[in-house]
Structure 1
């Protein structure tokens, strides 16, 4: 016959603790997965012509439920931290590219982010933008386009730790 004393937790109490622990672990795994598939973070961009690393862009929540991105570091061999967006035609005209917001208004739509804009500081043009993550959130496919998504180009950025 089994005997229980006050120091030995009941089978029901042990099971309840194990279920609670399993729930906490599952919640942590799901949160980590959701975070890794989010574009929020620091991304290494590439030069379209050379394929070489060009800059680091930090994507963050903008306070209205959307995402925005700004240049936090240039990586090119000829990068000049005092370089300005001389080709820009909006309020960013002649502003420093370092620290400049180049992505704005991105809203989540299922597994991708859409309805935003991206600025190409090289030519000053502003494109509509959509993006999605791949490879468990380690790559970000960024598409800039005019009018419809078919009329544009994509770049794959790599997440930085």
Structure 2
């Protein structure tokens, strides 16, 4: 089980980290489009939760797995992928000099100005972002916050995979033709 978790978690982790780099490098949208692209890349990567649980069920358990065992394997894969995601974000922060929060705030202030927000609203947002930026400098806080982005998706995919794959008739293992 450990090997399945490590291998499929690493595959999902590399995919989600690459997706993150593509998102921040080419889409570079701090709004809805960036979020959609980010969560879509997480879902694509976390398909390997399903693949890993199915492989474990079919190869190591003879085609039968309990719901909770499947959830455990799925969460293990999801946690390994989450670690890659966090490390990928930390690498991005290091390579960019940690300017993400300042860039995010500046982008949103421009949007607020374009939307005709009052100077008081903009000043309040700026103050809040400055305080948040101080918190975000703490790597433990930043890593925990980064984990909250991917972990709900990993949980959802793990539970859906477990619900589907606990039924041995769902995508049963195929026997080699002789």
Task: Tell me the TM-score range normalised by the shorter chain.
Answer: under 0.3
Higher normalized contact order (CA 8 Å, seq sep 6+, divided by chain length) = 2
Select the structure that is richer in strand.
Answer: 1
Select the structure that is richer in helix.
Answer: 2
Q: Which has more radius of gyration? A: 1
Normalising to structure 1: TM-score of the pair? 0.25
Normalising to structure 2: TM-score of the pair? 0.23
